[in-house]
Structure 1
Amino acid sequence: MKKRKVLGLCLVIMMIFLSACNVNMGGGTESKKPEGTQSGGQAAGGKTKVIFWHAMGGANTKVVDQMVANYNASQDKVEVEAIFQGSYDDLLSKLKTSMGSNEGPAVVQMYEIGSRFMIDSGTVTPMQTFIDQDHWDVSQLEPNIAGYYTFDGKLYSMPFNTSNPILYYNKNLFKDAGLDPEKPPTTFEELKEAANIISKKGKAVGANFAIYGWFMEQFFANQGADYVNNGNGRDSMATESLVNSEAGVKVLTWWKDLIDTGAANNLGRKTDDSKKAFAAEQVAMILDSTAALKGIVDTNSGKFEVGTAPLPKPADAKEGGVIVGGASLWMMNDRSEEVQKAAWDFIKYLTSPKEQAYWHINTGYFPITIKAYEEESVKENLVKFPQFKTAIDQLHNTKLNTATRGAVMGVFPEARQIVEGAIEEVLNNKKSPQDALDAATKEITSKIQQYNKTVK
């Protein structure tokens, strides 16, 4: 791809992505001016320098730094420097600014919904290139995780932090309402019934779901339904949104009915507000990421017992499952062969069972490597947090198809916000589910087609 084309694409997509800066999922939101931003070269002692940009804020920054320190101490040929770049959106903006210069990273963490842009930018070396050269065994990766980042038979990026959504519920409130705390709802219908019973008891509202586009995407996949056309954008580039299909209308009709009947309440878009209401025992059920599990259990320890259940779906849903969320590691192709090979060595190290066990235990994200579950530390952690078995089972029970591999489109961050706006319109009685999703589909489709013109 010519440099003019790459820069033209970056300018257009930057305008799109900068208008979508409230993505609700991923790393921390704090930002700092990066230091040592040279993307690669020679470090002290003749080592090859690898710059790694990431968006893991808060406590996760320390975990990333420790893994990098572990790697640097494990060998004497490569020195990796990890630089926190703020939120996922902050990181993406900085990456676009760095393209075409020598100020960018050799390896960058990018959230899953940025995958289409990364491929279309023409600035990455597919991870499959190094896998083939090294005869690296891809089967050691969780297939349902690697599946998301595989396009046209190539693994383009290495999975890094991975999660999916589950239902969290207050077992004490279930008991108080006369419900079996060991039999949580698994369908839309069962959840509505349980939420109604709990709400009528008056101690708490039955449920609360943050208005988060990621949840809508997951509800589609759990019904075996594609989110965009052309095989969810995987057979060929997506040209149309399918958010106004039967699957989407069914979700919003159910969601609005929960609100209208008092079985659930609406606290807005922030998942943190859902967690706070759950911790205060104001609501009995919430949806959140599996990566939040340790925090939710620890926060409420001593107050009530936290239960977990799979993401609910309609009783008549087709075979589906969940899509992995989170981010992966991408190799930038404007670095020297020496730097790219050094970066690949670092990435391989991160996938080792020992490092994946450390990552999982200290962050709550899934291990991407199957053998990490054989580590004693992971087994002990599962005993301490048995709720995580729900997440593991849900991941492993998901059958890979176009729906569960997840949609790909170049305007995903903006599409997610458009859907959140549609959900708000429905829950606030401004539009019917069909009308709101029809308008969202039209707007998203227009954005997709505008984007596609920039990469032809």
Structure 2
Amino acid sequence: MRRRLAGISLLGVLTLTAAACGSAGGGGGSAQPSDGPVTITMWTRAATQAQSERLVQAYNSSHKNQVKLTVIPTDNYQPRIAAAAGAKQLPDVFAADVIFVPNYTSQGLFLDVTDKIAALPYKDKLAPSHMKLGTLDGRQYTLPHTLDLSVWFWNKDLYEKAGLDPEQGPKTLKEFAEQATTIQEKLGKDGKVHGTFFGGNCGGCYVFTFWPSVWAAGAQVMNPEGTTSLNDQAAMTDVFKIYRGLYENKVTGPTTKEEQGPTWTGFFPKGEIGVMPMPSTTLGLMPAEMKIGVTPIAGPDGGESTFVGGDSVGISATTQHSDAAWDFLSWTVSDEAQVEVMAKNKDVLARTDLAANKYSAEDPRVVMINSLVAKGQTPFALRFGQTFNDPQGPWLRLAREAVFGDAAKVPQLNAEITKSLQQ
């Protein structure tokens, strides 16, 4: 899987002096004279390499200023940012998993670009979840860079073979379970085909694919401040119960319980899975001959939502080239970049007003995915990494007990999640 959902929070690790933080819309130091082209530096993690490279290449080919991109392995990215921040050697521009952006803003790593964003004619059309997490105390620090949404994929060929309507995917989580069960019962006798699959030993996989069902039901998984866990409440309990039933009835693949994340999206493209939650970015990686349906993730009885993941991007507080850096960043969310670079390659767009552009209009599935950007959520918590992504954290223990073990332990484990969020 190209998109890694794990990471460690940097709260309490990153330090910058107040002098390095810059001011609203200004530079982080004395700016380079503007009498010639400027080359700015940019860092991104390997998970978003393809999109970042395309944007940089398109910008460099059409502008005098240039961007020098460095791609860092995803597992090494946050330690590299921490080390560079401590040494005041951050690049001019850097992207980050949107989940961890609140850590960076709270530690003063990004330049305040509130006034510059306010001047954009489409400021209200930028991906709302990403903009929310890039805002601190009413000031804005980042723009959406790449987006990855959670959706349900279904295999139309398997549906047809199992006697299901290949053009009708699930509209509720209960229907999801019914259709997956039908696939298993009709086609799973040889052990090669399975009704569904999920990352049962992957904290990030759970939040990315289970939480949207809670949101679709009109509930929440945390309080708005990200300091109290609500994962023992009725909506989350209902979602866990449905997935537990699928596992106990052997509708999931045999390695579901052990799946730690790296290979959880690898079985569907082989034609082995009937229906399952997947990252939207995997649509472009599917075999051309596969007939695939895509639909929003629903709650037990309906509704729709998505986990809006991906990366945000900002200007470092220590940059010497804030104007050149903003020229590049603002261009990445322009009509030209969003349509001719992102949409042309079937990427999810950072702007809600461009969902049905000329490229995505060729594929109704892409239009649907783009439309979900305005409906989805990205949870806010300063201690998200340690709590929900860390394999040793309390969330994974809770999820595994709820799906595979002793559900009676959930209230106690939920209290541990809250404790972790408040540390």
Q: Above 0.5 in TM-score?
A: yes
2:213–2:300 contact (8 Å) kept in structure 1: no
How far off its partner does 1:344 sit?
A: 0.7
Q: Give the match for residue 388 of structure 1.
A: 366
1:324 paired residue among 267, 284, 308: 308
Root mean square deviation, CA, Å: 3.0
Q: Say yes or no: does 1:179 pair with 2:164.
A: yes
Q: Say yes or no: does 1:221 pair with 2:215.
A: yes
**1:434-449 → structure 2 map (5 Å cutoff):** 434-435=408-409, 437-449=410-422
Q: Which runs of 5+ in 1 are unaligned?
A: 1-8, 15-38, 399-403, 451-456
The 2-side partners of 1:275 and 1:405 are apart by 22
Amino acid in structure 1 at the alignment position of 2:388 = R
Q: Say yes or no: does 1:84 pair with 2:78.
A: no
**1:108-257 → structure 2 map (5 Å cutoff):** 108-132=94-118, 134=119, 137-143=122-128, 146-203=131-188, 204-211=193-200, 212=205, 213-229=207-223, 232-233=224-225, 238-257=226-245
1:410-439 deviation per Cα after TM superposition (whole angstroms, max 9, x unaligned):
22122223323332334333x21x52x334
Q: 1:416 to 1:84 in 2, by over 3 A?
A: same
1:127–1:155 contact (8 Å) kept in structure 2: yes
Amino acid in structure 2 at the alignment position of 1:354 = E
Q: Give the match for residue 334 of structure 1.
A: 318
TM-score, normalisation: structure 2: 0.81
The 2-side partners of 1:346 and 1:124 are apart by 15
Q: Give the match for residue 50 of structure 1.
A: 40
**1:259-274 → structure 2 map (5 Å cutoff):** 259-265=247-253, 266-267=255-256, 268-270=258-260, 273-274=263-264
Amino acid in structure 2 at the alignment position of 1:217 = W
The 1-side partners of 2:386 and 2:214 are apart by 18
Higher-helix-fraction structure: 1
How far off its partner does 1:108 sit?
A: 1.1
Q: Say yes or no: does 1:412 pair with 2:394.
A: no
How far off its partner does 1:189 sit?
A: 1.4
Q: Say yes or no: does 1:424 pair with 2:400.
A: yes
How far off its partner does 1:292 sit?
A: 1.0
2:173–2:213 contact (8 Å) kept in structure 1: no
Q: 1:427 to 1:373 in 2, by over 3 A?
A: closer
TM-score, normalisation: structure 1: 0.76
How far off its partner does 1:150 sit?
A: 4.2
The 2-side partners of 1:95 and 1:409 are apart by 19
How far off its partner does 1:111 sit?
A: 0.6
Q: 1:441 to 1:156 in 2, by over 3 A?
A: farther
Q: 1:62 to 1:160 in 2, by over 3 A?
A: closer
How far off its partner does 1:341 sit?
A: 1.6
